[in-house]
Amino acid sequence: MKNMFLITLLLLGTAFTGLAQQAAPANQVYNFSLKDCINYAYQHQDTVINAQLDMKSADYKVRETTGIGLPQVSGSATFTDYVKIPTTLLPGQFFGQPAGTFVPVQFGVKYQSGLGLNLSQILFDGSYLVGLKASRTYKELSQRSYTRSKIEANVNVTKAYYQVLVSDEQVKLLDANINQLKQQVDQTVAENKQGLAEKIDVERLQVQYNNLVTRRENTVRLLALNYQMLKFQIGMPITAELVLTDKLESVQLADTPDATTDTTFYHNRIEYGLLETSKKLNELDVANKKANFYPKLKLNGNYNSSYQNNSFGNLYSMSFPSSYFGLTLDVPIFSSGQRINQLRQSKIAVLKSQNDLDNAKNGFLLQANAAHINYVNSLRSLDNQKQNQQLAQDVLNVSKIKYQQGVGSSIEVTQAQTALESADNDYIQALYNAMISKVDLDKAYGRIQ
């Protein structure tokens, strides 16, 4: 009893230790760069994992198809207990009876059993050979689908990562504006106490300050949500702690992006590769339909051992074996036009696949040109918003100086502060658009693999 108690304690201790080890990663802090997030997504993002499982399934499909052309062996066993042995009527004259009479006779024994082994082997089947090629092409299709899933994960993770960086920059700009406005509010309150500023000036600035603080609080909550969105995109529990190590300054945005002169870049697009594989499958389907016009040859073999006895105990005391080998030739002769019409349908599917390829090529060229124009426009807008941001800051500084010197009004300062906040918001939006358009440009030209 004492030993059982010790064993129970040991098992419980092991269980709690295992639970503690499983719970430990929940408190882990992940310090991830953009590359780390992408690699993590490749390992944990559900669509990528499922695409990887599809590749394994396709590999098993190839093996399954290959096995069709290998020898097929099956066994069989039978047992029969004739409770009533079948009766056959024989003409009476066989036994010296008058003509027209019949004598009932029972043939067979009460117990019968059989053990058999069957063998079949395809010697020639055009459909099998085509199917073998099709299964390998299907595996190729699953591999390209896996690549497409990784590309989509890469794009989504990159955009989510950039969203966090931009939101964090927005919080910093709001902090700077809040600090700046707080100083102005304190200064105006002091001047109001000295009779140098009106109460309405204080209230106007206080309203603006309160709105700015509220906007910052809202932005901080959105930043937390953006972190959760990023963790969702990479397949990480949203309760985990994630710290981004890349900074906004590390994002490379070309000043003067040039349009590519390569007009065959669409071959780098995984979508184009998927369409090519789909066309290849349709071509193999045509070959399979043609194979249906050819004969099929198969080798068959059988070994069977029969057991018969009226005594169950002696049923297997004597066997009566039999065996054979043979060939089966299946020659298609006439199908009322079914095969030829099936072939014609498959050929039409190939033509449609080629049309899809041609249309996709034009679509990818158009998409790339549009992505390039959007990127150039976003860069120009970003540069313009940077200048506007600096101009708005200069206007605010001048308005403050004029107000302090008594040659300006508090309304001018308030308007200048509002213009700076608007310029900051426009800059943040332009920055995000430029970063996202860069991702779309790389995807359009097939640079993300």
**Same structural domain for residues 325 and 227?**
no
pLDDT of residue 100: 78
Within a domain: 1: no
**Residue 9 counted as domain residue:** no
What are residue 91's phi and psi, to 5 degrees? Answer: -55, 140
∠ CA 205-208-214 to the nearest 5 degrees? 140
CA pair distance 374, 435, nearest whole angstrom = 11
The predicted pLDDT at position 136 comes to: 92
* In a shared domain, residues 137 and 266: yes
Q: Which CATH number covers residue 94?
A: 2.20.200
In a domain, 152, yes or no: yes
Answer yes or no: is 249 within a domain: yes
Same domain, 86 and 129: no
In a domain, 342, yes or no: yes
Domain boundary among 280, 310, 331: 331
Q: How many CA atoms lie within 13 A of 311 on its CB side?
A: 4
Domain range holding 249?
29-69+125-294+337-444
Number of H helices, E strands in the chain: 8, 8
| Whether residue 326 sits in one domain with residue 272 | no
- 223 and 286 part of one domain: yes
> Is the same domain home to 303 and 166?
no
412 shares its domain with 354: yes
Looking at residue 17, its pLDDT comes to 41
Contact yes or no for 80/113 (Cβ under 8 A): yes
State the pLDDT at residue 20.
38
Strand partners, 115: 77, 305
Task: Please give the pLDDT value at position 18.
Answer: 41
164-190 residue pLDDT tens: 999 999 999 999 999 989 988 898 898
For residues 271 and 290, give the distance between their C-alpha atoms in angstroms, rounded to a whole number: 29
* Same domain as 271, residue 313: no
Q: Is residue 131 located within the same domain as residue 113?
A: no
Q: How confident is the model over 65-96, as pLDDT tens digits?
A: 999 999 999 999 999 988 888 888 888 777 77
pLDDT at 256: 58
Regions of the chain where pLDDT drops below 50: 1-24
Are residue 173 and residue 220 in the same domain, yes or no? yes
What pLDDT is recorded for position 258?
A: 63
Q: What is the pLDDT of residue 193?
A: 86
The CATH number covering residue 425 comes to 1.20.1600.10
Question: What whole-number distance in Å separates Cα of residue 106 and Cα of residue 104?
Answer: 7
201 and 104 belong to one structural domain: no
* Residue 8 forms part of a structural domain: no
Strand ranges (DSSP E) for 96-163?
Answer: 102-106, 111-124
pLDDT of residue 16: 38
Residue type present at position 179? N
Number of domains in the chain: 2
> Is the distance from CB of 416 to CB of 407 less than 8 angstroms?
no
| Residue 34 forms part of a structural domain | yes
Kindly give the pairing relationship between strand 87-91 and strand 102-106: antiparallel
Same domain for 59 and 144, yes or no, is yes
